[in-house]
Structure 1
Amino acid sequence: MKLCKIHILTFVAILLLIPVAHGWGVDGHLITCRIAQARLSKAAADAVSQLLPAYADNDLGSLCSWADRVKFRYHWSSALHYIDTPDNLCTYQYNRDCKDEDGILDRCVAGAINNYTNQLLTYGDDNSASQYNLTEALLFLSHYIGDIHQPLHVGFTSDRGGNTIDVHWYTRKAVLHHVWDDNIIETAEERFYDSNVDELINTLQKNITTVWANQAKAWEACSKTACPDVYASEGIKAACDWAYKGVGEGSVLEDDYFLSRYPVVNMRLAQGGVRLAATFNRIFG
């Protein structure tokens, strides 16, 4: 399948012009996409390979943070990375919560997952190249399925998913959202994997096929092509049970917090990778 040359040129230009910004964390998105790509069916793997730019060298993980970088160019996409839920309810409802700050419905990470899933379902349609940029759709969907598995991407409205809660991560100043985007993963890599993200990926992949094997089958299950409402409901529950719990303005988060929350991060990364692969396998057949 061929993409419109103008779309490809625009896409490449954006990659060259836009500075890097972090989302779930660059490593978090890399992990999710690497887990997913290793689980693709042949048809899905072929489609992903066709849609990735040549310079990606068939490595979806290398562009899994692209959607964060283009927020500065595609301003409309900023609201698509998260969901704001009512404070302290610890529940998510699509019709209530999936809207942007202006109240425009469907503009949240769950709505974006539905949208880009539907776009990718046109893959193979001769007319789809003129209607959608499916390379961008692939990268948006890959990123947003990662985002929705980061608990604080489905967080309270008043603190913007922990973005306004100042804490210390050991001795360093941080905001709670960034702790979950980056710090927990980085600290785990430094402490357990000699700062090697590939070793962490290998561990998660082994766990998916062993200790989580039965759970992984359940993670894949979805009555539709994509099930973001399930992932969002899990996310706000994890945010309440783990991310927000015991944390206030100025909290110092050290080993007690890290060692109890790190398994939650591992699980959400694994779930995101398994579900991204399952979604692609359903989309591409």
Structure 2
Amino acid sequence: MLRRLCTALALLAATLASPASAYWEYGHETVAEIAMRNVQPKTRAAVMRLLARGKVLGTPECSVATIEGASTWADCIKPLKDAAGQPRYGYAYTWHFQDADVCKPFDLQPSCKDGNCVSAQIERDVKLLRNPRTPLKARVEALAFLIHFVGDLHQPLHAGDREDQGGNKALASYGAYSAPRLNLHSIWDGYLAERAGTTPPSLIRRYTPGERRRLAAGTVMDWSRESWQVAHDAVYATATHGDACAPMPARAELSQADIARLVPVARLELQRGGLRLAKLLDRIYA
């Protein structure tokens, strides 16, 4: 697939740009593709029927005509400006994350004021899509946001951090690669997600009923706590080579052995995200 042939260039460009809150294309597309393989046929048809009305959004630069396009729409629209030159979707910036401090008891209150966080927006989008009175444009927008935000919630650095902007301020190296601005967020957003998704066997498949029940279990709040715990146990404990809340090094060094241990963790997050998205979509449409 062309997008996978271009992954390396895309990752390099994204690293140089140091994105603040994007679970790069590969992670989002993988989550969305897993979901579409595991929803009921009725749900799949309803999703594609609504995405086919995507022109109502008025964002031709950011198409939702495919499930892959819909999965990255919420990031694609960030640079769009209104007639006054102001960010058209600036109000949605904080909807992509909820950085609860991993070195304190789990608490979403500080990072989720007035519903401006990823878990609250997931629940809002589900409500909008289940309400038959929701206008068409709002339904298409809610679907695109939902597909994207479930992916975001399963990138651990969108759920927990150490007051370092989701790992964006935590410089890190990835094996032998160490660019000046490379950080933990970039690694988990892109390099690790790509490595996890391309490691055989393929994550994009039809899962068994038992796998779906086990991996998709819980509520949005349960998933939030779980992803926050992954940030503590895997992201920061690896970065400090021990205590997740120990002082961070000037640059965290992730060895090839560290990366090999983190790949299964990242694979599980992609699986969870995809199957939980499928669960929500079936709840809405089936």
| Same topology, TM > 0.5 | yes
Letter in 2 for 1:232: S
Letter in 2 for 1:77: A
2:158 — aligned with what? 153
Distance apart, 1:207 and its partner CA: 8.6
Query: 2:189 aligned to 153, 173, 181, which one?
Result: 181
CA pair 111-270 structure 1, distance change in 2 beyond 3 A? same
2:3 — aligned with what? none
- Contact between 1:220 and 1:278, CA under 8 Å: does it hold in 2? yes
| Distance in 2, Cα, partners of 1:65 & 1:92 | 28
Letter in 1 for 2:279: A
1:214 paired to 2:206: no
- Contact between 1:98 and 1:105, CA under 8 Å: does it hold in 2? no
Letter in 1 for 2:146: L
2:26 — aligned with what? 27
Query: Unmatched 5+ residue regions in structure 2?
Result: 1-18, 55-62, 80-87, 240-248
1:133 paired to 2:142: no
- Contact between 2:98 and 2:117, CA under 8 Å: does it hold in 1? yes
Distance apart, 1:137 and its partner CA: 0.7
The TM-score with structure 1 as length reference comes to 0.76
1:118 — aligned with what? 127
1:5 — aligned with what? none
| Distance in 1, Cα, partners of 2:210 & 2:129 | 29
Q: Percent identity?
A: 26
CA pair 119-98 structure 1, distance change in 2 beyond 3 A? farther
Letter in 1 for 2:152: D
- Contact between 1:53 and 1:135, CA under 8 Å: does it hold in 2? no
| Distance in 2, Cα, partners of 1:57 & 1:239 | 30
CA pair 264-207 structure 1, distance change in 2 beyond 3 A? farther
CA pair 219-189 structure 1, distance change in 2 beyond 3 A? closer
| Distance in 1, Cα, partners of 2:256 & 2:206 | 23
Distance apart, 1:171 and its partner CA: 1.9
1:81 paired to 2:66: no
The TM-score with structure 2 as length reference comes to 0.76
| Distance in 2, Cα, partners of 1:265 & 1:93 | 23
2:177 — aligned with what? 171
1:59 paired to 2:66: yes
1:40 paired to 2:39: yes
Secondary structure of 2:114's aligned partner: coil
1:8 — aligned with what? none
1:243 paired to 2:235: yes
Secondary structure of 2:99's aligned partner: strand
Please tell me the root mean square deviation across aligned C-alpha atoms, in Å.
2.5
Letter in 1 for 2:143: L
CA pair 111-46 structure 1, distance change in 2 beyond 3 A? same
CA pair 43-259 structure 1, distance change in 2 beyond 3 A? same
| Distance in 1, Cα, partners of 2:64 & 2:213 | 30
Aligned residue pairs total 240
Larger mean Cα displacement after TM superposition, 137-146 or 21-30: 21-30
- Contact between 2:30 and 2:204, CA under 8 Å: does it hold in 1? no
| Distance in 2, Cα, partners of 1:57 & 1:148 | 20
- Contact between 2:38 and 2:206, CA under 8 Å: does it hold in 1? no
Distance apart, 1:254 and its partner CA: 2.5
Letter in 2 for 1:241: D
Distance apart, 1:26 and its partner CA: 0.5
Distance apart, 1:78 and its partner CA: 0.7
Secondary structure of 2:160's aligned partner: strand
* Residue-by-residue CA offset, 1:52-107 (whole Å, 9 max, x unaligned): 13686963123211101222330111101111213512x4334x2442xxxx3211
CA pair 29-276 structure 1, distance change in 2 beyond 3 A? same
